[in-house]
Structure 1
Amino acid sequence: MVPPDGPPLSRIAFLDFEASSLAKTSYPIEVAWVFPDGKSESFLIRPAPGWTDWAPEAEAVHGLARERLVREGVAHDWVALHMLTALRDVALYASAPSWDGHWLSRLLRAAGLPRHALRLKATAEAQRRVVLDVLAAGGVAPTARDALAGKLLATLRLEARDDPAAEHRALSDARRECRRWARARSRAAALLREEGGGGVE
């Protein structure tokens, strides 16, 4: 299905970074992204020269030692170039686009690439877009679409509070955001069935 206004489902992905800390000098240490069809990629990132920031309290959360990144991580410039290849023209969403955007920018700049070559938006925006697209495709009148979407998204936000806590590994957390988006899509479709679709007022 290609939503009427949003990108094709094969052209969106949910992305997450883990990082050395939450300081301004922090840098990405792991990245993963997931497409709605379940395809995904994940990489540990070997620190670039000059990336020295490290917070033991952050390591206690994500469980990744810097020594492991040096030993097993993929070169930062290869990861950046691969992301440009794999995610070019893909709409990217993250749970915390300001933080994840900071780490994405650091990765791209360290590889000598434009810092805005890839951009992130909030997962909440993807959820709203897919709900509106499903309702529009189902023939819901424009006057009713925003109200129905608002109520459904508010319910989903409340339900999300009961989701399992984030695991603080990039792939599992990206999958979590993708599941939340898929839940919004399926609940919008269920709402159409309940309302009978077509011109709901």
Structure 2
Amino acid sequence: MRAFIDFEASSLGPHGYPIEVAWVFEDGRSASFLIAPIDGWTDWNPAAERAHGISRAQLAREGVAAPLVARHLVDELAGHQVLTSAPSWDARWMSRLLCAGGLPPCAVRVADTDAALLELAAALLAPALPSSQVHRASRQIMASAGDRFVGRRRAHRPLADAELERDRWLTVCRLARAYAGLSTDDRAARPPAASREANLFLHPRVYPRTSLDRPGAEWRAS
């Protein structure tokens, strides 16, 4: 299954570190954690704090130990395709978080959402169109999907921004299926509830979801 991930960091400098992470699966299950810094994580940019609104005091009060977050992230995401809108930055924060937990930095890899969206559209269109038309139609679908998110700004909080990536994925999927003449009905079983251990031992900020978004209108070229 695919998952969509996002991080916030203390700064974008060479010594910045992750302070919050969230991920959302295709079926809507999600989790979000503030990350308590480990020894040596001291770099802090006030401009970054103004963007995300997370203070050092909040991290000290509500943050989960970085090694615990790292282990839970690997338990949840290893073996899944993990997508992000900022792969170079989020790969850096992922690596630092995993290293803080004594885990291999490649235990979970991230890929670019936009590239995966283009591949998704092409894969859905390929059975219905001549090969010479697939690339152009895929680009058309990407443009139409982008139009639907004009004005929806990123929140600079990982859960909201990861959910935005999931919404983009579902939109491209529905548009491509409609273009190809396939059903656009999203049906998802109720996802398994978060474990009691995860809720009590890690952090209360775990947000299970119960269903996928409802499908939008039929395909209309932009």
Q: Which TM-score bucket, shorter chain as reference?
A: 0.7 to 0.9
Q: Deviations over 1:93-116 (max 9, x none)?
A: 101010111100111112111111
Tell whether 2:21 aligns with 1:31: yes
Asked if 1 retains the 8 angstrom alpha-carbon contact of 2:35 and 2:65, the reply is yes
- What's 2:138 paired with? 149
For residue 101 of structure 1, the aligned residue among 91, 101, 108 is 91
Tell whether 2:164 aligns with 1:176: yes
Counterparts of 2:139 and 2:54, CA distance in 1? 39
- What's 2:79 paired with? 89
- What's 2:2 paired with? 12
Quick one: which amino acid aligns to residue 40 of structure 2? Answer: G
Distance apart, 1:186 and its partner CA: 0.8
CA distance 1:25–1:160, shift in 2 (3 Å): farther
Asked if 1 retains the 8 angstrom alpha-carbon contact of 2:128 and 2:180, the reply is no
- What's 1:192 paired with? 180
Counterparts of 2:85 and 2:56, CA distance in 1? 24
- What's 1:132 paired with? 122
Quick one: which amino acid aligns to residue 144 of structure 1? Answer: Q
Quick one: which amino acid aligns to residue 187 of structure 1? Answer: L
Between stretches 106-115 and 171-180, larger displacement belongs to 106-115
SS in 1 for 2:180: helix
TM-score, normalising length: structure 2: 0.78
Distance apart, 1:160 and its partner CA: 5.9
CA distance 1:85–1:94, shift in 2 (3 Å): same
For residue 107 of structure 2, the aligned residue among 95, 99, 117 is 117
- What's 1:197 paired with? none
TM-score, normalising length: structure 1: 0.85
Asked if 1 retains the 8 angstrom alpha-carbon contact of 2:2 and 2:26, the reply is yes
Quick one: which amino acid aligns to residue 139 of structure 1? Answer: A
Counterparts of 2:80 and 2:47, CA distance in 1? 33
Asked if 1 retains the 8 angstrom alpha-carbon contact of 2:52 and 2:157, the reply is yes
Give aligned pairs, total.
182
CA distance 1:160–1:103, shift in 2 (3 Å): farther
Tell whether 2:14 aligns with 1:21: no
Q: Deviations over 1:104-129 (max 9, x none)?
A: 01111121111111111111022112
Quick one: which amino acid aligns to residue 131 of structure 1? Answer: A
Unaligned runs of 5+ residues in structure 1 are: 1-10, 195-201
Counterparts of 2:116 and 2:3, CA distance in 1? 10
Quick one: which amino acid aligns to residue 54 of structure 2? Answer: L
